[in-house]
A = this chain, B = another copy of it.
């Protein structure tokens, strides 16, 4: 296999009736496609087949014939519809052998969970006669790795929490060692927020024009941020040159630039809070815990996050955050005033320097004439003042929740960036800034 990674033919074979019946999204394609893309490889094809042994065998035979690397997900579990192992063995002409070491690990895992092991689990203790075993830290079915005929086939269990660490910890390093993927990222990624994809391209075009030779540019819009990837598909530019161009782009973008890489907005806020030794609290209605969850997904959240309240009812706003009843009666719970009172209440009750609050109508039910479904008020309490902002989003409930959280996170991020640089502090305003 002396071809460079971008010339290799990788196929992903995803197995499971649940994918073809639309019961589960094919997250494996998204995850593995992105992981390989970062290492200079574009998946050439993804085929999803049923749990039927004949379908698996026929498809694997076809994919194996034309590929350098075949990655297979699913069908390695203990039940009768798990048929990957046998089908692949058939095509490769290999025997499956019982591995007492795998058996031991399965028994250990059941003991740890305090569950009784049923005999069908021992199906998972069979491995390829000429192949390796990929440890599964989060489940009973190990992954399987076979190098044969100058090619690689790698099989992983379907549950994402088992597959994803297995892929990054055991598959990528093996592929890199064989020179089948790059041993470094194939691109530099700029993460931006608060700017659309087309405006981003327009702003960066002058930079790209100055470095036209061999620069590869790709944009990708996500909920809450747009990523721009810089690479050198033909290899004309080295890593240091790409990094220098990326730095130039970041400079042009100013505050719209979030980070290099793929840290979340919450993670960027968390790092800023910790470096400034500040504490944060949140109060939510419409987003119902999603904002707090964004921060508590970060390890070490207890070092900057005081806590949060999900105060759905008026009573809970009064009880938990000391929001005055007269304010709620006068302005309503979905108002700039309520958002400000919630943010201030959260900061005071939870002893925080900064507080974010979100109130609004996430729909599809609810909403009022002047504040229809999709109306969101965000407030930010900072050491030097408190502001509220009115936003409006289209879309289904979970989309509106997600957008509101991203707006709040980006607002806090900008505020913390200004604080860090000792830049102009915005003027203190109590009330509404629309």
Interface on A for B, CB 8 Å cutoff? 16-27, 29-37, 42-51, 55, 59, 77-81, 112, 115-118, 120-121, 137-138, 158-159, 161, 165, 186-187, 189, 196-199, 201-202, 217-223, 227, 229, 262, 282, 284, 286-297, 299-302, 305-313, 315-316, 319-320, 349-351, 362-366, 394-399, 401
Contacts and interface: CB of A to CB of B under 8 A. Distances in A.
Contact of A44 (B45, B55, B227): B55
A343 to B, nearest CB: 15
20 contacts: A18-B218, A18-B227, A19-B29, A21-B42, A22-B33, A46-B47, A79-B201, A112-B394, A118-B198, A159-B221, A165-B396, A292-B310, A296-B312, A297-B401, A299-B365, A307-B311, A308-B309, A308-B310, A313-B351, A319-B349
A76 to B, nearest CB: 12
A198 B182 CA distance: 39
Given A42-B17, A159-B221, A201-B120, A299 B363 contact: yes
Contacts of A161: 223, 395-396, 399
Contact of A288 (B116, B158, B186, B297): B297
Contacts of A137: 394-395
Contacts of A29: 19-20, 22, 25-26, 48
Nearest to A364: B299
Given A221-B77, A316-B350, A320-B320, A199 B118 contact: yes
**How many copies of this chain does one complex carry?**
2
A41 to B, nearest CB: 10
Which of A32, A35, A296, A299 has most chain B Cβ within 10 Å?
A: A296
Closest 3 CB pairs of A and B: A288-B296, A22-B34, A289-B292
Contact of A197 (B78, B310, B316): B78
B220 A23 contact: yes
Contact of A297 (B115, B202, B366, B397): B397
B45 A33 contact: no
Contacts of A27: 25
A44 B52 CA distance: 10
A389 to B, nearest CB: 13
A71 B55 CA distance: 19
Nearest to A219: B79
Given A23-B220, A118-B198, 8 more contacts: A22-B35, A78-B197, A81-B219, A284-B289, A289-B289, A301-B312, A302-B366, A305-B312
Contacts of A221: 77, 158-159
B320 A312 contact: no
Contacts of A305: 288, 312
Contacts of A351: 313, 315
B45 A21 contact: no
A395 B138 contact: yes
Contacts of A42: 17, 20-21, 50
